[in-house]
Amino acid sequence: MLVAATMFMDSNMIGISTPNLQIMPDRGTGYTAKLDGDVVNIGSKADRDITINAEGVAEFHTRLRRDGKSYRIYSLGGASAVLVNDKPISGSQLLTAGDRIRLQDAEGRGATLVFENPMETMGTGGNIGDTHLLLNLPFAIGRDPKSDLVIDSLTVSWNHAQIVAKGNQRQLMDMGSTNGSRVNGQLITQPTPLQSGDTIQISNFTYLYDGMQLRRISATPDIRLMAVQLEMTYQRFFPRSSHTTVRDVSLAFEPQEFIAIVGGSGSGKSTLLRMLNGVSHATGGHIYANGDDLYANYPTYQSVIGYVPQADIVHGELTVWQGLWFAAQLRFPNEQEEPRQQRISRALDLLELTPYKNNLIRNLSGGQRKRVSIALELMAEPPLLFLDEPGSGLDPGLDTTMMRTLRRMADRGHTVVIVTHTTLNLDLCDKLIVMSQGRLTFYGTPKEALKFFNVDSYAEIYNILLEPKNLVDMTQTYAADIGAIRSKAGAIAAADAADQWRDSFKGSAYYQKHVVDRLKSFTTKAADKETLYLNKQLQRSKRGGFWQQVRVLSQRTFALLRRDVVTLLLLLIILPLIGVFLATISRDTLISKSGEELLTQSTMFIPAKDRKDLVTTLFDKWPTSVLPCASDLPLPDKERDSDGDPCPLYKTRGGGVTKAGTPATEYRIHAHEVGTYAPAQNAQRLIFMMTLAVALLGIFAAASTIVTERTLFFRERLINVRISSYLASKLIIYGGLALISSVMLLLLVAFGVQYPSQGLIMWGPLEMFITLALTAFAGISIGICISALNKSTNAALALAFGVLIAQILFSGALFEMNGFVGSVLSRLTVTRWAIESMGSTVHLPQQDTLNTTILRTQMYRLDAGKDPIKLTQPGLEWLPGSRTLKLDYPTEAGGLILKWVGLLGFSVVFVGIAYLALRRQESF
């Protein structure tokens, strides 16, 4: 026989680098069969390469054929069924490590086989004991097939490290790898001399250096996680209080375990998960990974930890491939395109997503979207994988599929820890963590959990945790109704009940077996200053350059906008439409000439000081005075204004009585205002609308850009995405769109108005564009700040609307902002600074001196007892108007530059606030 079968369950006895099958008949004892032949025939007949004596297995059931480092399994047809990972195969299928094979008959009887392939897990870094002579220096190490030592593992960079010669000495040099290189366990950041007997760790692969060669001395190291007396307390500052969500939790995880954290709402499940994976730092206790303080050494272990939050960490507007491609660009900045695509392909194949790689993520089912989120993490092949509610929102069938997928991942070598609220598939897990009110009430196998709580189903655990332990014992002892006993014993707080269950668990054999005994096997060490410094260096080397991240994030933001056609069109069309409207209703120049036709028709000049003294001299010889307008002046109706006012403005001479007691003759001039020439007011209204429109576009365009991807952003922060790069990408994309729209606005408004040819510094339209551009960036910065400060889109949009109202009311263009408070509020608006900048370019202060009032005048003589007599034909006169502008418009180049600096300051301040807000919300 080509394959030897051994009645033994430990595959380490077979050989660490040999593929094998773990065979589990439906009835009988399991065993391991080593695979060392090119063709392996499997069946119940004695002369098969692997004989499985189980009911339901045919005499010649299936065949395995070597394919590279793995094997391909064949379906031989007939009544014999071959299923791989619960799916029937047609023809053949290539096996990967952890695949579950089911051989059965039509009635479902048969055997289950698990394919194990240490070679697949270890990569091509050599088998244990393999040697690699250092014949040529430099000696390249990495995933590049041209390397001297090729390690085909995704945790190893394309060009990871080199051994170089320096004089008579040899040194190890890290080439900017993603996961770092170590000599004797110490992370290196510069060329490090090698001595015979040193150990070299390339990511998760360890070699012994003896002066002439490298010898592989260990397989991929497993990660063992230990939590000791964890506690999480949140501080509230208003009102000042504290709230503890996790209390005194100690755990120990062994490699390749599938662990579920269960409990009722508010029991601390998700908080515990985030503490274990380093996303949130515990306020008390310690977490150790292979003996190292996890928080202090987080940059070192970051690459071996995958975390999938409850919310999807992918953009629905991208295709599956695009979502993974952008993530790979950010997570592996030092790799070339080909190895990054290899990572994506492997993750898709592993999660059976390859057929959907060109589908939009939003069009996938809930389970498929969750698998895409998992694929983001699997690109790095993390030994530790944490998932928060992976079955949330899935129907029972999809939840079962998801749990089986996670089970296979654990079988392939991952340690999988999940938070779940469903109990349908807990039997697939190796361990259960049961939480209640932040207390650890149980940790052990699923079957042990049922025994500990003395229940028949996992769902009953949720209810029984709300009852005190002694009350439950009484009902079970006396078979009494729990309601009757509770009425006698009295109510108990949920926290007190949880304390009783925690104490009961700590006194049980399960606590001793799964917590105490496991913790004893761990050794821990504190991080020294040098380790902390080297971890910081590793963190910097992993994240890639600032501009590299800006480029990738900008590409992704633009790709999202391209998919969202409606939003993109609105961003590009709103300002041009406003430009069309403004051009249509303006129909004049910014240096307005309206009223000039009336001025040319005027017959005389009437000097004036203000509106109460419009006429001071008209008759050279007669004394004059200005009187209140008398509504009962006996003028013919045709001489009255349209509103019936006979003399809104008039002057009189004469009046009183003669010596004989008869009224004297009175002369009056009636002046009716028929028009104004106010170019500054018209221009200010137009400028206000233009700057307000640009600011509005910026605020609303960016108000939801961060809040809609908060979960994804904070996950990417864990892989060293810079906040500054993230914010810069938003400014670049939305700013670019705003600049295009601003140019179109200026061009379209130009059809209705004439721009000044020269501003204070340069060509007038260019000055106006600079002001609009700075206004747009200030508006976008405000929107980004709003988005960073809020946790929901509705709250962000409501705040954006409030900010917009403030920009209108406090700008000073509609209402005078007098007094200290009014002045301060006005200066805090972008529109105030933008209006003043634009106003200086179109020379509003000079235009304000041209204000003129146009009057229609008529002189009358009033004799006692007679109708008024017209003394002249009606005429038009004009007089200088008063200054109407209240804002501070610069008249020199230096003043305009200061306004521009002020607008730029808005962008700096609000982006800075957004940065601090995002930084403050982090807990790592």
Q: Are residues 397 and 495 in the same domain?
A: yes
- Residue 306: which CATH number? 3.40.50.300
Runs of H (alpha helix) within 438-516? 446-453, 459-464, 469-478, 482-489, 494-506, 509-511
Q: Are residues 237 and 167 in the same domain?
A: no
Q: Domain for residue 817, yes or no?
A: no
Q: Domain for residue 147, yes or no?
A: yes
Going 204 to 209 to 214 to 219, the CA torsion angle's sign is negative
Task: Count H helices and E strands in the chain, helices first.
Answer: 27, 40
Q: Domain for residue 165, yes or no?
A: yes
Round to whole Å and give the CA distance between 114 and 864: 123
Q: What is the dihedral of CA 736, 739, 744, 745, to 10 degrees?
A: 140
Q: Residue 245 has what DSSP assignment?
A: E
pTM of the shown model = 0.66
Which stretches of the chain score pLDDT less than 70? 1-17, 78-80, 118-129, 154, 185, 204, 217-222, 237-239, 393, 469-492, 522-544, 587-677, 854-883, 922-924
Q: Are residues 194 and 129 in the same domain?
A: yes
Buried b (16+ CB within 10 A) or exposed e, 647-673: bebbbbbeeeeeeeeeeeebbbbbbbe
Q: Domain for residue 319, yes or no?
A: no
- Residue 75: which CATH number? 2.60.200.20
604 bridge partner residues: 877
Q: Are residues 261 and 396 in the same domain?
A: yes
pLDDT, one tens digit per residue, over 519-575 is 887 666 555 544 544 445 545 555 567 888 899 999 999 998 888 777 788 788 888
205 bridge partner residues: 202
| Cβ(230)–Cβ(275) below 8 Å | yes
pLDDT, one tens digit per residue, over 734-782 is 999 999 999 999 999 888 888 888 889 999 899 999 999 999 999 999 9
Tell which residue, 302, 309, 425, 321, has the closest CA to residue 364: 321
Residues whose CB falls within 8 Å of the CB of residue 15, separated by 6 or more in sequence, listed in order: 34
Residue type, 868: P
Q: Are residues 262 and 389 in the same domain?
A: yes
Q: Are residues 67 and 141 in the same domain?
A: no
How many domains is the chain partitioned into structurally?
Answer: 3
Residue 465 CB: number of other CB atoms within 10 A? 25
Q: Are residues 213 and 244 in the same domain?
A: no
| Cβ(687)–Cβ(770) below 8 Å | no
State the helix-helix crossing angle for 679-702 and 764-789, rounded to 10 degrees.
Answer: 40
Q: Which long-range contacts (CB under 8 A, 24 or more apart) does 169-174 make?
A: 169/193, 169/194, 170/134, 170/137, 170/194, 172/200, 173/138, 174/541
Round to whole Å and give the CA distance between 122 and 419: 29
Q: Are residues 401 and 486 in the same domain?
A: yes
Q: Which long-range contacts (CB under 8 A, 24 or more apart) does 567-573 make?
A: 568/737, 571/697, 571/701, 571/734, 571/737, 571/738, 571/741, 572/737, 572/740, 572/741, 572/744
Q: What is the dihedral of CA 266, 270, 273, 274, to 10 degrees?
A: -120
Domain range enclosing 471: 228-313+382-520
Q: Are residues 429 and 297 in the same domain?
A: yes
Instruction: Please state the φ and ψ torsions of residue 109, each to the nearest 5 degrees.
Output: -85, 145
Q: Residue 11 has what DSSP assignment?
A: G
Beta-sheet pairing, 240-253 with 225-237 = antiparallel
Round to whole Å and give the CA distance between 193 and 190: 10
The pLDDT score that the predictor gives to residue 529 is: 47
Q: Domain for residue 681, yes or no?
A: no
Tell which residue, 580, 814, 593, has the closest CA to residue 692: 814
Q: Are residues 200 and 78 in the same domain?
A: no
Q: What is the dihedral of CA 25, 29, 34, 37, to 10 degrees?
A: -40
Q: Are residues 143 and 116 in the same domain?
A: no
Round to whole Å and give the CA distance between 769 and 743: 7
Q: Domain for residue 862, yes or no?
A: no
| Cβ(526)–Cβ(295) below 8 Å | no
Residues whose CB falls within 8 Å of the CB of residue 589, separated by 6 or more in sequence, listed in order: 753, 754
Residues whose CB falls within 8 Å of the CB of residue 29, separated by 6 or more in sequence, listed in order: 7
Q: Are residues 58 and 158 in the same domain?
A: no
Q: Which two tokens stand for residue 106?
A: 């039509």
Beta-sheet pairing, 384-388 with 415-419 = parallel
Q: What angle do CA 728, 730, 732 make, to 5 degrees?
A: 70
Instruction: Please state the φ and ψ torsions of residue 595, each to the nearest 5 degrees.
Output: 100, -15
Round to whole Å and give the CA distance between 774 and 910: 13
Residue 599 CB: number of other CB atoms within 10 A? 15
Runs of H (alpha helix) within 703-818? 710-717, 723-749, 764-789, 793-809
- Tally of residues, the chain: 924
The pLDDT score that the predictor gives to residue 505 is: 93
State the helix-helix crossing angle for 830-841 and 893-920, rounded to 10 degrees.
Answer: 160
Q: Domain for residue 469, yes or no?
A: yes
| Residue at which a domain ends, from 90, 105, 121 | 121
Residue 753 CB: number of other CB atoms within 10 A? 19
Distance of CA 918 to the CA centre of its chain: 10
Beta-sheet pairing, 284-289 with 225-237 = antiparallel
Q: Which two tokens stand for residue 146?
A: 């041209």
The pLDDT score that the predictor gives to residue 625 is: 36
Q: Domain for residue 878, yes or no?
A: no
| Residue at which a domain ends, from 520, 538, 561 | 520
Residues whose CB falls within 8 Å of the CB of residue 125, separated by 6 or more in sequence, listed in order: 149, 150, 151, 152, 153, 156, 202, 205, 216
| Residue at which a domain ends, from 218, 236, 265 | 218
Round to whole Å and give the CA distance between 126 and 220: 11
Residues whose CB falls within 8 Å of the CB of residue 239, separated by 6 or more in sequence, listed in order: none
Distance of CA 72 to the CA centre of its chain: 42
E strand map for 284-426: 284-289, 292-293, 305-308, 384-388, 415-419
Round to whole Å and give the CA distance between 363 and 361: 5
The pLDDT score that the predictor gives to residue 911 is: 95
